[in-house]
Amino acid sequence: MISTTIPYQYNDGGFKDSGIQDTNNCTIVAFAIITGLDYTIADRIGVKTKRVRRRGHWPEKMVNYSKRVHGLKFRKFKFASITLQKFLKRFPTGRYYVANRSHCFAIIDGVIHDHGMLVKPFQIIKEAWQVL
């Protein structure tokens, strides 16, 4: 039998404490969580990569900028079709910055870290970056 529950922990990456007024900021929140950077720094990286407040953003831009400017190291995974549940089984440990079609979130050692339970076990993961 396949389990349809996934381990989840609420985490806003410091967004509420930052005092920044924003929405549609899952890319920034997930980036702050996965890198351990303060939310305000992650937000500045978003601004440097041309993110407009209250609009989504491309995680790849955050990763590329951080590699180039901050020296962070990432390993990219691109998938044709893998469900979140299969991703968690295949990669049970590590820190991952994950993107599906419309949402970004963090996975740390097999646990989803997100500021809203917007992920489902059978949704398709398109890209992921492991923080090295």
Mean pLDDT for 41-63 is 95
Q: What is the pLDDT, as a whole number, of residue 13?
A: 97
Where in the chain are the domains?
Answer: 10-131
What integer pLDDT is reported at residue 67 of this predicted model? 95
Residue 11 has pLDDT above 50, yes or no: yes
Return the pLDDT at 3.
Answer: 52
Asked if the 10-131 domain carries CATH number 3.30.310, the reply is no
Which pTM was predicted? 0.93
Average pLDDT rounded to a whole number, residues 46-56: 94
* Average pLDDT of the residues in 3-31: 92
CA–CA distance, 57 with 28 (Å, rounded to integer): 8
